Amino acid sequence: MKRAQPITAATRFISATSGPICHQTLSTQLPKKPPAQPKVIVLSRPVGITIGISLLPMSLSKIAVASRIKKPAVRPELRREWLRRNETEGESPPEIAKQDGYDVRTVRKQIEIERQERVLTGELENLAGTVEHIEENLRLLEVRLEGAVEGEVWDGLGRLARVVRTKGHLDYYDAAQRECASPQALAEDITLCRRLSSLSEVTPEVLAVKSYLDRVTLRENEGELAMDRVSLHEQLKLENLLANPHVWPSVEALFDWFKSRYRAVYLAHHQDYYRETSSHRLSLENAKPGLEALRRLNSITELGAPLGQELAGEYKYLLSKTRPCPEKGSEVLPELEPVCSTCSLSLTDEPPRDEMERFLAGLRRALEQQHRRLSAQAIRQILAQSEDSRIDQFIKVIQTSDLSSLANVMDDELVEFLCYLLAEACTEPFPLLSRIRERFSLIEEGQTEEVVSEFRTLLEEGFAEAKRRNPGKRVQISPE
Together in a domain, 317 and 404? yes
Domain boundary among 163, 183, 201: 201
The DSSP bridge pattern shows strands 425-430 and 474-479 to be parallel
3-state helix, strand, coil in the chain (%, to 5): 65, 5, 30
Q: What is the pLDDT of residues 266-299, one digit of tens each?
A: 999 999 999 999 999 999 999 998 898 888 888 8
- In whole angstroms, how far apart are CA 206 and each of 134, 235, 241? 14, 11, 10
212 has a pLDDT exceeding 60: yes
Q: Is 65 contained in some domain?
A: yes
Answer whether residue 465 is part of any domain.
yes
Q: What is the mean pLDDT of residues 316-341?
A: 86
Pair (355, 343) in one structural domain: yes
Answer yes or no: pTM beyond 0.75: no
pLDDT band for 29, please (50, 70, 90 cuts): very low
* Same-domain status, 188 and 337: no
| Nearest by Cα to 233 from 219, 221, 218 | 218
Task: Select from 132, 161, 144 the least CA-distant residue to 241.
Answer: 144
* Residues 37 and 184 placed together within one structural domain of the fold: yes
Q: What is the pLDDT of residue 105?
A: 93
Does 444 share its domain with 403?
no
In a domain, 273, yes or no: yes
The answer, yes or no, to whether residue 40 has pLDDT greater than 60, is no
Do 331 and 434 reside in the same domain of the chain? no
Residue 94 sits in the same domain as residue 184:
yes
In a domain, 32, yes or no: yes
- Based on the domain organization, do 50 and 93 belong to the same domain? yes
Q: Are residues 76 and 110 in the same domain?
A: yes
Burial pattern 213-231, b for ≥16 Cβ within 10 A else e, equals beebebeeebeebeebbee
Backbone angles phi, psi at 340, to 5 degrees: -60, 130
Contact 96, 85 (CB under 8 A): yes
Q: Is residue 207 assigned to a domain?
A: no
380: pLDDT strictly greater than 90: no
Domain that holds residue 64: 20-201
In a domain, 52, yes or no: yes
Four-point Cα dihedral 43, 47, 48, 49, nearest 10: -80
Q: Is residue 80 a part of any domain in this protein? A: yes
Do 112 and 52 share a structural domain? yes
Q: How many CB atoms lie within 10 A of CB 416?
A: 12
For 116-136, how does the pLDDT look when each residue is reduced to its tens digit (9 = 90+)? 888 888 888 888 999 999 999
Total domains in the fold of the chain: 3
Whether residue 439 sits in one domain with residue 380? no
